[in-house]
Amino acid sequence: MNRTHESEEMYLETILLIKKRKGNVRSVDVAEELGYAKSSVSRGVNLLLEKGYINIGKGGDITFTESGLERAAMVYERHRVITRVLRSMGASKEVAEENACRIEHVISDELFEVLRAYDDSL
């Protein structure tokens, strides 16, 4: 998995989570959430815009396109399933969350389906 892909997924997931919590999202919210410089987030958000994953309104509000929402939801689902599987294996909440956040970007589709089936059987 290349770094750009991982970064892109992190931004999409972060936007999704902020949107769930607050209802609206601006670049500054993403910067605060991730602890990144505003210039880095601006670059990342512009890449998402170029790829057609998001739209940016006049007030700076970030909204998902259909494909962006689909991609963000997929990343978030991977995070949740991996976290639950790691927790079921005895990992603490903190360890499971931290590792799921890294694993979700590199796991193959095939292995993720195995984990999802295992999660469904719990």
The secondary structure of the chain, three-state, reads CCHHHHHHHHHHHHHHHHHHHHCCCCHHHHHHHHCCCHHHHHHHHHHHHHCCCEEECCCCCEEECHHHHHHHHHHHHHHHHHHHHHHHCCCCHHHHHHHHHHHCCCCCHHHHHHHHHHHHHC
Whether residues 83 and 54 share a domain: the answer is no
Of 20, 43, 65, the last residue of a domain is: 65
| Residues of the chain with confidence (pLDDT) below 70 | 1-4
Of 65, 83, 101, the last residue of a domain is: 65
- Give the count of domains, the chain: 2
Residue 17's CATH number: 1.10.10.10
pLDDT, residue 107, reads 94
pLDDT, residue 5, reads 84
Whether residues 58 and 75 share a domain: the answer is no
Whether residues 53 and 15 share a domain: the answer is yes
Please state the pTM of the whole predicted model.
Answer: 0.91
Q: Which domain, by its residues, includes 105?
A: 71-121
